[in-house]
Amino acid sequence: MRVVAAMSGGVDSAVAAARMLDAGHDVVGVHLALSQSADTLRESARGCCTIEDAGDARRVADRLGIPFYVWDMAERFREDVVEDFVAEYRAGRTPNPCLRCNEKIKFAALLDKALALGFDAVATGHYAQVVEVPDEDAPSRVRRELHRAVDAGKDQSYVLGVLDADQLARSFFPLGDTVKEDIRAEAAGRGFAVAKKPDSHDICFISDGNTRAWLAERLGAEPGPVVDTSGQVLGEHGGAHGYTVGQRRGLGLRTPAEDGRPRYVLQTDTRTNTVVVGPEELLGVDRISGEHARWCGPAPAGIVEVGAQVRAHGEEYPAQAWADGDRVEVRLHRRVRGVAPGQSVVLYEGTRVVGSATIAATGRG
C-alpha cells in the first residue's frame, strides 16, 4: 500500500513513519508547512511548523531511506484553522483548533491531495487505535472503527472524533498500542535525534501560550462590564472574547461575594461585551445540543447510551444521545461544569469513538 506519512518533526510521527515502513508499505514522508513564518526558529516547546521541525523530519526520512517532501498548506491552515479560531471567539464561543486542524487539514486537505497523487492512505503519529471488525451489512468485508489508545494519558481519540467513515478507512495510527515512554525508547533505538525532543502543546500557532493577548491583538481590547446573574456590575474586563465559561482567575472583580466564595464565568456575550459570573453550582449543565455532527461510522439509530467527553483530556461522562440530521442531542446523567459553546462533545461506546459535534448550546434539565 502506498502511504503518506505525515511527519511533523516530532518523535511520534517519526516512529509512526518507521512502523509503516516496517509493515511493508511504500512510504513517503510529508511535512506540512502550516506557518506563514516558518523561517523562524522554535522558541519554546509550544511552537510547531518551524524550519527546525522541517529539518528534523527530513533527517528522520533520510535515516529511513524514504522520499521526503514539504507541502505548503499555510494558506489553507490560516483560513480553516486560525481565522476560524478568531471568528469563534469573536462570536463568544470557545473553539478547539486541534479538532478543526484534523478535520480540515490533516484528514481533508492532506488526505485529498494524497489520494489525488495516487496514494492509498495517510499515517500520523496520533495516539489512537483502528480496529477492523466484520461489516454487518456485508459479512465478507470488514469496516474500521476508531478506538482509544492504550496509553490513556496520551490518548488523542477525542481530537480525531471529527473523522468520518471514509476518512477512517484510509487512515493509520501506528502508535495506538504503545505507551509514550516506549515510543521514545524505540526512537532512540532507531537512532532518531528527535527521541528526546519535547512535545509541542496546544495551541500550536500561539507559541507563547498567551491566548488572551494573542486574541486582543486581533480582536482589540474593548472594556466592558463584569456582572452577576442579577445584572449588578462587579468589575470591568478588557474584552469578553478573552474569557471562557468556567474561568475563575483574572476576572477583575471589585466587589467580593457576600458569602466569600469564589465566582466563575457563567456566560460571555460578545454582542453586549458582557461577562456574567456566578457561584460554582451554576456552572453545572446536563443538556448539550451539538451541531456539525460527524460520525466515525453509522449515525446512532434512536436513543443510545454513550460516554460523552467535552475536553481533550477530560473525564468521560455517562449520557444518552440521539442524532437529528447534522445535529445531536446529549443528556448527561449528571451535571458537568464549565461546558461552553464552541467546544466539541465526542461520544464513545466503550473505547470506540461514535462521533462528535460542536456544542451549540447547553442547559439544565
User: Which residues are known catalytic residues?
Assistant: 101, 204
Instruction: Name the DSSP letter for residue 211.
Output: H
For residue 203, cis peptide bond before it (omega within 30 degrees of 0): yes
Question: In this structure, which amino acid lies at residue 200?
Answer: S
In SS3 terms, 221-259 reads as: CCCEEEECCCCCEEEEECCHHHCCCCCCCCCCECCCCCC
Q: At what angle do helices 11-22 and 180-189 cross, to 10 degrees?
A: 70
161 and 99 in contact (C-beta within 8 Å)?
yes
| CA separation for the pair 78, 91 (Å, rounded) | 18
Per DSSP (E only), the strands in 190-342 are: 224-227, 233-237, 264-269, 274-278, 285-295, 304-309, 316-324, 327-336
Residue 316, burial from CB neighbour count under 10 angstroms (0-12, 13-18, 19+): middle
| CA separation for the pair 262, 107 (Å, rounded) | 42
Instruction: Name the DSSP letter for residue 109.
Output: I
Question: In this structure, which amino acid lies at residue 108?
Answer: A
The residues that bridge with 6 in the sheet, in sequence order, are 30
Residue that has been written with the C-alpha cell 494573542 in this structure: 214
Buried b (16+ CB within 10 A) or exposed e, 87-99: ebbeebbbbbbbb
Instruction: Name the DSSP letter for residue 325.
Output: T
Question: In this structure, which amino acid lies at residue 257?
Answer: A
